[in-house]
Structure 1
Amino acid sequence: MMHIAVVIPAYKPGSNCLDLIEDILAAGFPHIIVVDDGSGPEYADFFSSLLSIPQATVLRHAANQGKGRALKTAFHYIVNEQLPFDAIITADADGQHLVSDMIKLSREMAEEPNHVVLGARDFNHKEVPFRSRFGNRFTRLLFRLSTGTVLTDTQTGLRGIPVKYLPRLLGVLGERFEYEMNVLAALKKNYIPISEVPIQTVYLDANKSSHFNPLKDSFHIYKVFLLYGISGAASFGLDIGLYWIFIQLLRDEAPELFIIFATIAARVLSSLFNYYINRNKVFKQGSRQSFYRYYLLAGFIMLLSAASVHLLYAEWLGRGEVILKVMVDAVLFIFGFIAQRAWVFRKD
């Protein structure tokens, strides 16, 4: 078996957290690192009691900084102290991660020592709260579209991570719950393999102990995906506006080809805007190769858009060519979105 430590970020932990820690040590895990994420004076006795456990280390934040920062604090400690661990397992402090499942992760990591191993819950059980079931399905879909990676559970906190990857994960953006999602995206970009292990789905009191704020924390998790949509929507609006302008200018000048000419002129200008936003604000990476790839893709989509609208256009539509273009480009937007993620702005 690998030498594995367990990392537990804790914010106002419940009474079952101590039982969890004792069960983890009883199962044979050699060390536990607990991060007190600013739980406050009323929890001081709980964290002080952990100091009497030789196999436990307590790290403290003076104020609550979020789960992502708590995990980074533990990662910094392991890397800076050069602790003799092959890997770590991250677990939540609310008792929803079972020790038996941690053992399953450790066995999988022993067989696949270069993989990040995720504990995957089954969200089809009736006891799973609706917000958790809906949130996982929605996030899973967005994650698949934006990264190309198909995962069963993108929000799991039970994760096995080889220590050699921790320095790279310390550079991942995010301080709160969004950090865990960003880590999954970073694994894809860094070509780090991922495995999933089925684990039990446990929700205590309908998950009331969770500190997840549905509105605020969902925004932080999804904002990276929202940037995709905002960039695309802004570019799409600019493209449609320019297309309409060029339609008015070219309708009488080139009655046979005005749709194609208007499509090309509008797409060239809007694509310059879109490339700049995607490179500097969305993907935050790009090279000379990404520029060439982008315009190869843009040219292909432009021709496909023009040809589709031209072929589908009929006289009975009257002046409905703008509406037809909106419908065609709505379909092509999904294709372009996936192609940019997988090819144009990929990490070389």
Structure 2
Amino acid sequence: MIVLIPAYKPDNSLTRLTHQLTAHSENIQVLVIDDGSGSEYTPIFTELTLTGATVITHPVNLGKGAAIRTGLNWARIYQPRQVVVTADADGQHLVRDILRVGAHTATHADSGKHSLVLGVRTLPDNAAQGSGTVPVRSKVGNALTIGFFTLATGTRLADTQTGLRGFTPQMIEWALNIPGDKYEYEFTMLLRATRAGVNLVQVPIVKVYEPGNPTSHFRPVRDSALIYAPLIGFLASSFAGFLIDAAALFTLVALGTPLLVAVIAARIISALANFSVNRLMMRDGAARPSPGNSLMRYATLAVGILAANAALLEALMTLGAHLAVAKVLTEAVLIPVSFAVQRRWVFLPARTPQREERTAPELQLSKLSGASVEEEYTGRRY
């Protein structure tokens, strides 16, 4: 088993975790990716190599997603038959939980299934000595991403932000093709996994947090924007469609067009634009369904949304709501419904992991056995 740990400016938590892993079994290969931490942290990584860990160094900080791909690429080249378990460098994952995820991953590797094993933080905080209180930002962030993930995929996970993940050898090539260099990489991976028919296996683990979570490099605004990009893009597209729809509706009603006719005409105008935009956005890099199938499904959805739109507008206006207020309330209800149906049905690709024609960069390694490993990039930077 390879334990892959991306690290950026780590503290002694990484040293402690590496010592524990290497001391546990000689069958555990610890692979640490120094993601451009700088010369100040060289002593820490040097100590790791003395314990038997392999260290790959990025000359500059590329991001967690890029660091994970570097490690997966190393595993693909040098240990292609080994399962890979990713763990965080900040001490949030206990050795016993890493081993449990590794054991589950090995079982699924033997079965030949396309599986991604997730260590989900569901066990009580006091299940581990020294575990701290879960930070508010982590609670809120996880709740938001769970809600979005469920809405987008129809699959409910107990923890969408976990960094403890197990990859079977069959999944490594697939994971190398997931886009994103920062924190969005891991969330995008989950979105694509559900759309590719990957089996998501949840293994309960202990919640462990250091007070104040001091070693986290997560930037709430910037990194959250990257994580929620699919939803933000859809909302932007929907808002543009809403403006087109509303402008046409108000114009037609002002000209004396009956409400039902005005609603239908306005929706047809906005739907034509939305279909083209959303078909690209919902792709998530997977193989697209045929345009004909997508268009038929989209038309079916549009008819349903149209009927619901007209019914809700009529009901709200009957209750005395102004047309503008009724329109906003109606769209607030129907946009999430439309988003979920489009992702889960209208633009759903074939449910098999797709191998994309993209060559991962070669790793040029100066040393492999316990010493620090420097990486030089050739071809496409990732």
Distance 1:198 1:274 in 2: 40
Q: Which runs of 5+ in 1 are unaligned?
A: 252-257
Distance 1:195 1:187 in 2: 11
Please tell me whether residue 287 in structure 1 is matched to residue 286 in structure 2: no
Asked if the contact 2:154/2:344 (under 8 Å) is kept, the reply is: yes
TM-aligned CA distance change 1:14 to 1:218, over 3 Å: same
Alignment partner, residue 365 of structure 2: none
Alignment partner, residue 261 of structure 1: 261
SS of residue in 2 equivalent to 1:106:
helix
Distance 2:177 2:279 in 1: 19
SS of residue in 1 equivalent to 2:251:
helix
Distance 1:151 1:123 in 2: 14
Alignment partner, residue 244 of structure 1: 250
Alignment partner, residue 35 of structure 1: 33
Q: Percent identity?
A: 37
Which structure is higher in RCO with an 8 Å CA cutoff and minimum separation 6? Answer: 2
Alignment partner, residue 333 of structure 1: 335
Distance 2:30 2:124 in 1: 32
Deviation at 1:27, TM superposition (A): 2.3
SS of residue in 2 equivalent to 1:32:
strand
Output the amino acid matched with 2:212. A
Please tell me whether residue 86 in structure 1 is matched to residue 82 in structure 2: yes
2:216 aligns with one of 210, 213, 226: 210
Asked if the contact 1:227/1:282 (under 8 Å) is kept, the reply is: no
The runs of at least 4 consecutive aligned structure 1 residues that moved more than 4 Å come to: 123-126
Q: Deviations over 1:105-139 (max 9, x none)?
A: 12322443332111111387581111111111111
TM-aligned CA distance change 1:312 to 1:93, over 3 Å: closer
Distance 2:123 2:203 in 1: 14
Please tell me whether residue 223 in structure 1 is matched to residue 267 in structure 2: no
2:133 aligns with one of 112, 115, 127: 127
How large is the RMSD of aligned CA atoms in angstroms? 2.0
TM-score by length of 1: 0.90
Output the amino acid matched with 1:248. A
2:148 aligns with one of 130, 136, 142: 142
Asked if the contact 2:183/2:227 (under 8 Å) is kept, the reply is: yes
SS of residue in 2 equivalent to 1:176:
coil
Output the amino acid matched with 2:46. S
Distance 1:88 1:156 in 2: 15
Q: Deviations over 1:201-220 (max 9, x none)?
A: 11112211111111221111
TM-aligned CA distance change 1:127 to 1:21, over 3 Å: same
Q: Deviations over 1:277-326 (max 9, x none)?
A: 11224535453111221111112211232244345543x74x93443333
Output the amino acid matched with 1:102. I
Please tell me whether residue 71 in structure 1 is matched to residue 74 in structure 2: no
SS of residue in 2 equivalent to 1:302:
helix
SS of residue in 2 equivalent to 1:250:
coil
1:48 aligns with one of 46, 49, 52: 46
TM-aligned CA distance change 1:15 to 1:329, over 3 Å: closer
> How many residue pairs get matched?
335
Q: Deviations over 1:216-250 (max 9, x none)?
A: 21111112221121111111121111111111223
Distance 2:28 2:307 in 1: 61
Q: Which runs of 5+ in 2 are unaligned?
A: 126-131, 351-382
Distance 2:21 2:248 in 1: 62
Distance 1:280 1:189 in 2: 15
Output the amino acid matched with 1:38. G
Output the amino acid matched with 2:290. S
SS of residue in 2 equivalent to 1:121:
strand
Distance 2:72 2:253 in 1: 57
